């Protein structure tokens, strides 16, 4: 796999595939039974296309499951998280971030299972 950056996280890992000034493309892998923090962004919106497993997406306090081929659209400022409800299969999605800034420091965490700030 060709990637610019690889980052391991407590919930799984992500790979940055492409990074430009106003957009970023990532492959995100979420381990079985894990979830990311509930968060929002000031400078970007995101589109998540599921390519393996099922993603349980919480968006503005509403849960919905997305299957392979479906895309969740996360608007600028929307509170959101992704989770892998499966106990037997990792979940993989392709994330496209667009906006005026796509840095990792544009994450405002509301709730986090791993006690990150």
What is the mean predicted confidence (pLDDT) over 73-79? Answer: 98
Pick the closest to residue 83 from 115, 36, 29 (CA basis): 36
CA distance 13 to 6: 7
- What pLDDT, in 10s, does the model give residues 4-50? 999 999 999 999 999 999 999 999 999 999 999 999 999 999 999 99
> Mean per-residue pLDDT for 72-88?
98
Pair 48, 67: CB distance under 8 Å: no
* Residue 95 φ then ψ, to 5°: -110, 130
User: Cβ of 55: how many Cβ atoms within 10 Å?
Assistant: 27
Q: Measure the CA–CA gap between 45 and 73, rounded to whole angstroms.
A: 8
In the chain, % of residues over pLDDT 70: 100
């Amino acid at each position: 796999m060709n990637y610019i950056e690889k980052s391991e996280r407590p919930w799984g890992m992500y790979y940055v595939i492409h990074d430009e000034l106003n957009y970023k493309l990532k492959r995100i892998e979420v381990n079985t039974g894990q979830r990311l923090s509930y968060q929002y962004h000031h400078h970007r919106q995101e589109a998540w296309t599921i390519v393996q497993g099922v993603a349980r997406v919480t968006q503005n306090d509403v849960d919905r499951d997305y299957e392979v081929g479906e895309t969740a659209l996360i608007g600028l400022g929307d509170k959101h998280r992704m989770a892998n409800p499966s106990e037997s299969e990792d979940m993989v999605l392709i994330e496209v971030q667009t906006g005026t800034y796509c840095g990792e420091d544009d994450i405002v965490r509301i709730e986090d299972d791993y006690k990150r700030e």
